[in-house]
Amino acid sequence: MNRLAAAIRAFRDPVGLVEDAGRQGGLVRLTGGRRPVFVVTSSDLAREVLETNADVFLKAAGSRGIARVMGGGLQVSEGEHHRRERALLDPEFVQDRLTGYAATVEWAMTRGTASWRDGEVVDVMAAMRGITTAAILRTLFGDATEPDVRQLTGDVTLLATGLWRAVVPGSAALERTFLPGFRRFRLARGRIDAYVAEAIRRRRSSDDPPRDLLTAMLHARHGGAAMSDRDARDEVISLLLAGRGTITAGLAWTWLLVGTHPDVADRLHEEVDAVVGDRAAPAAADADRLPFTAAVWDEALRVDPPAWILRRKAAGDATVGGTAVPAGSTVLVNVFGLHRDATRYPDPAAFDPGRFLGTDPPGPYGYLPFGAGPRGCIGFDFATMEAILLIAAIARRWRLVPVGAVPPRYARSITLRPRRPLGMRLAAR
């Protein structure tokens, strides 16, 4: 595939580009340019890139500008530093810890839907962003006040949506100018950094710090080693910027897909009503009692995977499926294409939660909503629990009906999201 034509197509329709590449084979090289780009749309080859040769195919940070904003957290770090930080954080995302986070998810849902009214139209992308951002903020900072959450939600949203500014040539200098977008970006980052630094200081100096994720991170030990203040700041930023985007988009697509499939909506409401009953919201223990709700979430991530492409750089000369991949090459694992593989998923474009209710679930490298291998998302279990509880809690009280064009066009973005606001009408139950 000619790289110039691919570049033009990538700007206009990046999802369509990888779909076309996937139809041409399991490994497609985009020709032209100084460094090759390969698109992988084969579960076996995806395993080679993400697991077997993970030490060769590194997760590209994007640029020094991105690293300047995000630091050296799990999202961008490599090698021994990544392994050490992963070992320190892994225990904080095990099941017994997740149970304690469930109350925070309920709080964020109640807060985020308090203003909803029967018959009004909401942008579910924005609504889910507010809920998920508040949930991760209160999970990290258990002592955050309501004004803190409001300010931080705005700042994190601004930082996440404006992260592209960090890769603009001369971005560090531009942030010091009066250009409104760059200046707002710098100020938002400064406020977040100041809040995180003060939160770390309070926990270091307190005999009775809040029992939240940040405190747990600061107390974590692995081989006698602990996190420095700088490492803790970087991991907080990674969780704020990387963790919320996937679940926000995933929930927005879930509501759209459920809303356009009344039979799925009816079954979802029936299960939630039976399990939750007259309670205001589900409890953490209910997550395992909501198999159809979980299947709805899993299938929505298959049809519209927020992390629709996984980017890696070849640190040295390598091979993928016997094909030479020179050092410096970019390898794109085509998650969207793998999730639409007709040999694995009959009628792949159809939304059918029943695929995830059988005894033969898809293999790990044919279903990659949160990546796989040693760089798989550390927050997978947290995101799954959060999504199931949020879907159930909202479905207990509301039915969401799409308005406007369906399906919407995809935005040009590293996260698969709609190009325009995703309006849905609220119907109280």
Rounded CA separation 113/127 (Å): 8
Residue 318 has pLDDT above 90, yes or no: yes
Nearest to 261 by CA among 383, 373, 354: 354
> Stretch 179-206: mean pLDDT, rounded?
91
Sheet holding 37-40, edge to edge: 27-30, 37-40, 330-334, 309-314, 57-59
At residue 191, the pLDDT reads 96
With cut-offs at 50, 70 and 90, classify the pLDDT of residue 239. confident
> Stretch 131-141: mean pLDDT, rounded?
93
Higher pLDDT: 109 or 182? It is: 109
At residue 103, the pLDDT reads 86
With cut-offs at 50, 70 and 90, classify the pLDDT of residue 183. confident
At residue 298, the pLDDT reads 96
With cut-offs at 50, 70 and 90, classify the pLDDT of residue 6. low
* Residue 232 three-state SS: helix
List pLDDT tens digits, range 326-343: 999 989 999 999 999 998
377-to-380, 401, 425 alpha-carbon distances in Å: 6, 31, 33
Per-residue buried b or exposed e for 323-350, using 16+ beta carbons within 10 Å of the residue's own CB: eebeeebbbbbbbbbbbbbeeebeebee
With cut-offs at 50, 70 and 90, classify the pLDDT of residue 394. very high
At residue 193, the pLDDT reads 95
> Stretch 26-50: mean pLDDT, rounded?
88
> Stretch 376-381: mean pLDDT, rounded?
80
List pLDDT tens digits, range 42-76: 999 999 999 999 999 988 555 566 777 777 777 67
**Token pair in block for residue 219:** 């107390």
What contacts 24+ positions apart, CB below 8 Å, involve 148-154?
148/195, 151/191, 152/191, 152/192, 152/195, 154/188
Nearest to 335 by CA among 102, 14, 42, 3: 42
List pLDDT tens digits, range 146-162: 999 999 999 998 888 77
Rounded CA separation 246/310 (Å): 13
For residue 250, report the phi and psi dihedrals to the nearest 5 degrees: -60, -40
Residue 2 has pLDDT above 80, yes or no: no
Higher pLDDT: 215 or 280? It is: 215
At residue 368, the pLDDT reads 94
At residue 221, the pLDDT reads 84
At residue 245, the pLDDT reads 81
With cut-offs at 50, 70 and 90, classify the pLDDT of residue 377. confident
At residue 1, the pLDDT reads 61
At residue 5, the pLDDT reads 65
Rounded CA separation 415/224 (Å): 37
One-letter amino acid identity for 44? Answer: D
> Stretch 77-92: mean pLDDT, rounded?
74
Residue 130 has pLDDT above 60, yes or no: yes
Rounded CA separation 180/256 (Å): 34
Rounded CA separation 222/84 (Å): 8
41-to-211, 257, 304 alpha-carbon distances in Å: 43, 25, 16
Contact predicate 42/23, CB 8 Å: no
For the whole model, what pTM was predicted? 0.89
Contact predicate 172/68, CB 8 Å: yes
User: Would you report the helix, strand and coil content of the chain in percent, each value rounded to 5?
Assistant: 55, 10, 30
* Residue 366 three-state SS: coil
At residue 10, the pLDDT reads 61
Task: For the chain, give the percent of residues with pLDDT over 90.
Answer: 55
From 89-103, 111-125, 228-242, the region with the lowest mean pLDDT: 89-103
At residue 95, the pLDDT reads 59
Q: Mean pLDDT over all residues of the chain?
A: 87
